[in-house]
Structure 1
Amino acid sequence: MRNAAPAFILVLLLGLAALVFFVLPRGSEYDRSPLGNKGLEVWLQAKGIAVVRSDAHVARSRSDVSLRILPLPISQSEAAAPRAGGESNAGGLEASGLEDWIYEADSYELPTLIIMPKWRGSVSKDGIARQSDLVDLSDLHGELGKIELSDLRLGRHGPGFEDAQSGLAPAQSTRIALYQAQTFVRSSLPGGCKELAGMPSGALIVACDDHPDVYLLSDPDLLNNHGMALADNASFAVSLVTLLRGADETRPIYLDTAGEPLDREKPVDEGKSYERSATDLKRFFAYPLSVIWGTLLVVAAICFWRGAYRFGPPLSDTSGNIELSKTAAIDATARLLRLSGNDGRMAGQFVLHVLADKAQLLFGSGAGNQAGIARLFQRLARQDKAGAQALHAAAEALIERGHVMTRSDLHRNLETFRKMLGSFELGSR
């Protein structure tokens, strides 16, 4: 039980670490997947085009950006593609605020590229693009109906790759390629809508007069991590961004994966107007800080328990009492033998105790018996066999026949025992 607490703490910390790294959602994983847009950001920055991403902690205004790119999010109940912050809704298309995006683009005169979805989130999870992983076209047509483009239809033209020479200007032509190409059906283009770029199978980018600052991209593979590596799609992406925001524009483009409303005016410097209040303290206990505080509390409780718990009161050192009791017993026995006039028996007891004491000195506290005394004589015999035999004979005579010896014989044998024992190096207590 005493050794279980450190192991329990270690298992708890490892479990929390595994929860953070493997269970909790992280938006960066999706952003770097084949369906994400990290490649577009890196490529545009390499070409000298600044890119800013949506951030829940940073407010953006219309005047900060030159072009807004909005991937229309799609999530499925079985494998949702997370949005910024790891949030996703189950089932069908999300309530993405498409109408709000169109309204902002029109009122702010902000060029906005809306990318229609094509793949379910399961593609990012499994790494395999199957026919069953394509988003249902009826869901996409329902979204187009929200912005009064219900006549605009999307089409797909069978499995496999399709490539074509396409340009955003008459004198410009770039080879683009798409897998399972998804395009707008040209015959369904409403009046006032025109095609900016396309393939033989249909239109890729459409703009309408009713919303002059809104551009619809039919296939997300043209700008995602997977599609940017095909043909000259990367060069086409640079040309597209330059056309939509203007060749002389220097403000960054806004890669918006959250779809939060923009501020009409540039935000006031928060460093000058921000005031702290007691409610700010709640942020220190919000997730995931709540997990950290909980872990510290558990560790502190275990440490307190380990420090306060004892297996009874501490034991005092009683070895001195044992020695005193032993000496008192020997003295009492000697006095009784002396009073009874039996000095020989007292001498035998003395010799036996001396031998037992020497055996304990050499072999430990459990050797003060006949077996220990036998081991003592075996050890002495390895030093001096003859001396050990003489010592054994004197000791045996005193122990077994000391009570029948005369006073002179008793004295002589005791002197022999003392001299022979002193000839061996045994140490002392």
Structure 2
Amino acid sequence: MRNSAPLLVLGLLLVAAALAIFALSRGSDYDRSPLGNKGLELWLQAKGIPVVRSDPHIVRASSEISLRILSLPISEGEVAAPTGDGEKGDVGLENWVSNASNQELPTLIIMPKWRASVLTDGIARQSDLVDLSLIQGELSKTDFSNIRLQRGWPGFEEDQVGLSREQLRKISLFHAQTFDRASLPEGCQEILGISSGSLIVRCEGNEYVDLLSDPDLLNNHGLALAENAAFAVSLINHLRVKDETGPVYLDTSGAPLDDVKPKDEGRSYERSASDLKRFFAYPLSVIWGTLILVAAICFWRGAYRFGPPLREASANIEMSKTAAIEATARLLRLSGNDGRMTGQFVLHLLADKAQQFFGPGAGNEAGIERLFQRLARRDQATAKALHSSAQALIDRGHVMTRADLHRNLEIFRKSLGSIDLGSR
């Protein structure tokens, strides 16, 4: 169970990271889908037309925008359309038309066409088209109530269109959705159209509002067809009649715009991988360097002092030997046999010294005798004193008085410490 706890914590962290990534990316899923408008944003920017998106943290003013583009919402879950962040405010065709007229802001309102099932299935079928009666219900709330939508045959419809004869482009639309020219009331004019009907309509009294019948003319899917992408640039430039230097505003929230931008407005920033460099700039670089240096010293000191890790088996053997020695010494002390314990200590110490010089097989009487012969060649007097005291402690330590035991042990200690055990 203890080993499973770290794995459980790691699993929870991975799940939390996955949820965070999903939460951050799902807002742009529609924008990058075939029915989104991320391609339009990138394409316009590549052609030198600035583009901004709606952001709940930024207040936009109509005076700084050259064109506002909105997608008409029908009902939640019914139509595939971008969703904004935060509060929606007054969302709806009637409010957008009123705001555009009051602020004299050119506004392009795009009619819906596809249901949300297209995004999940990945296939555009005739059954995935939005019911025209739903769109007509929204149009009936405004001055565009008499304008009727219609759809062509189930397939691609191509036509040569242009805002002038010098700028004709071939566009292609799948299940083309247009306004019925016969239904256009007096005072409404066609800005753009194909053989089957009108694509963009503008009416008197709402000169700043243009209605686009088919969203495939500007979405990611439509821009990849025929010359739709090239035509989209000329169309956007034509609709930006108020201020050609201002950005195009892709509005996914539908919230009303202010006339003037507040001076003390906060800002939203886009983060990128390059922002990580700030974590290593001065004085943070000094802190990171210090932490790395301290960690390196601690690692080196630990490896140098304790050496490589011992194998588990040898560690257990050393622990068993230590425990056995301590247990034997305790039993001898409890029984009052200090002399016997001292004799065993001396014998084991000499055996360890003999093994140190002559190998593992020298820990016996012959090895100890050989050790004394080696020590005698270096210092005969000291070696003799060491031999006599050691022999006395080993043979008669258990019968010695406490005074004799301490005296012989002191002689043994001093003699052993005064002899050079190095090799010749």
TM-score (normalizing by structure 1)? 0.62
Whether contact under 8 Å (2:70, 2:251) holds in the other structure is yes
User: Given the alignment, which residue of 121, 125, 128 partners 1:126?
Assistant: 121
Partner in structure 1 of residue 53 of structure 2: 53
Partner in structure 2 of residue 213 of structure 1: 208
Whether contact under 8 Å (1:72, 1:116) holds in the other structure is yes
Partner in structure 2 of residue 5 of structure 1: 5
Q: How many angstroms does 1:330 deviate by?
A: 7.3
Hey, what's the Cα distance between the residues in 1 that align with 2:6 and 2:75? 43
Partner in structure 2 of residue 151 of structure 1: 146
Q: How many angstroms does 1:28 deviate by?
A: 1.5
2:165 corresponds to 1:165: no
Partner in structure 2 of residue 268 of structure 1: 262
Give the direction of change, closer, same or farther, for the CA distance of 1:79–1:192 in structure 2 (3 Å limit). closer
Unaligned runs of at least 5 residues, structure 2: 267-321, 353-359, 367-394, 396-424
Whether contact under 8 Å (2:80, 2:115) holds in the other structure is yes
Hey, what's the Cα distance between the residues in 1 that align with 2:14 and 2:35? 31
User: Given the alignment, which residue of 324, 328, 343 partners 2:329?
Assistant: 324
Whether contact under 8 Å (1:26, 1:85) holds in the other structure is no
Letter in 2 for 1:237: A
Give the alignment of 1:169-180 within 5 angstroms.
Answer: 169-180=164-175
Give the alignment of 1:220-299 within 5 angstroms.
Answer: 220-246=215-241, 249-264=244-259, 266-270=260-264
Q: Which runs of 4+ in 1 moved over 4 A?
A: 78-82, 317-321, 328-332
Hey, what's the Cα distance between the residues in 1 that align with 2:61 and 2:80? 29
Partner in structure 1 of residue 34 of structure 2: 34
Q: SS of the counterpart of 1:249?
A: coil
Partner in structure 2 of residue 18 of structure 1: 18
Partner in structure 2 of residue 409 of structure 1: none
Partner in structure 1 of residue 98 of structure 2: 103
Q: Which deviations, in whole Å up to 9, do the C-alpha atoms of 1:311-332 show, x marking residues without a partner?
A: xxxxxx9877622343257778
Q: Which deviations, in whole Å up to 9, do the C-alpha atoms of 1:267-326 show, x marking residues without a partner?
A: 23216xx8xxxxxxxxxxxxxxxxxxxxxxxxxxxxxxxxxxxxxxxxxx9877622343
State the identity %: 56
Q: How many angstroms does 1:123 deviate by?
A: 1.7
Whether contact under 8 Å (1:26, 1:86) holds in the other structure is no
Hey, what's the Cα distance between the residues in 1 that align with 2:242 and 2:209? 18
Give the alignment of 1:417-428 within 5 angstroms.
Answer: none
Hey, what's the Cα distance between the residues in 2 that align with 1:78 and 1:172? 37
Q: Which deviations, in whole Å up to 9, do the C-alpha atoms of 1:37-68 show, x marking residues without a partner?
A: 11111111122211111111111111101111
Give the direction of change, closer, same or farther, for the CA distance of 1:78–1:116 in structure 2 (3 Å limit). closer
Q: SS of the counterpart of 2:68?
A: strand
Q: SS of the counterpart of 1:216?
A: strand
Hey, what's the Cα distance between the residues in 1 that align with 2:25 and 2:224? 27
Q: How many angstroms does 1:171 deviate by?
A: 4.3
Q: Which deviations, in whole Å up to 9, do the C-alpha atoms of 1:364-412 show, x marking residues without a partner?
A: xxxxxxxxxxxxxxx99xx9xxx9xxxxxxxxxxxxxxxxxxxxxxxxx
Most deviating of 22-31 and 232-241: 22-31
Partner in structure 1 of residue 373 of structure 2: none
Unaligned runs of at least 5 residues, structure 1: 89-93, 275-316, 335-352, 362-378, 388-413, 415-429
Hey, what's the Cα distance between the residues in 2 that align with 1:254 and 1:186? 29
Give the direction of change, closer, same or farther, for the CA distance of 1:105–1:18 in structure 2 (3 Å limit). same
Q: How many angstroms does 1:31 deviate by?
A: 0.7
Give the direction of change, closer, same or farther, for the CA distance of 1:87–1:130 in structure 2 (3 Å limit). farther
Hey, what's the Cα distance between the residues in 1 that align with 2:215 and 2:79? 18
Letter in 1 for 2:99: E
Whether contact under 8 Å (1:32, 1:38) holds in the other structure is yes
Q: SS of the counterpart of 2:173?
A: strand
Q: How many angstroms does 1:7 deviate by?
A: 1.9
Whether contact under 8 Å (2:35, 2:80) holds in the other structure is no
Hey, what's the Cα distance between the residues in 1 that align with 2:80 and 2:194? 30
Provide the aligned C-alpha RMSD in A.
4.1
Q: How many angstroms does 1:252 deviate by?
A: 1.4
TM-score (normalizing by structure 2)? 0.63
Give the direction of change, closer, same or farther, for the CA distance of 1:78–1:257 in structure 2 (3 Å limit). closer
Whether contact under 8 Å (2:139, 2:145) holds in the other structure is yes
Whether contact under 8 Å (2:65, 2:243) holds in the other structure is no
Give the direction of change, closer, same or farther, for the CA distance of 1:79–1:136 in structure 2 (3 Å limit). closer
Hey, what's the Cα distance between the residues in 2 that align with 1:191 and 1:80? 32
Hey, what's the Cα distance between the residues in 1 that align with 2:104 and 2:95? 14
Hey, what's the Cα distance between the residues in 1 that align with 2:53 and 2:187? 32
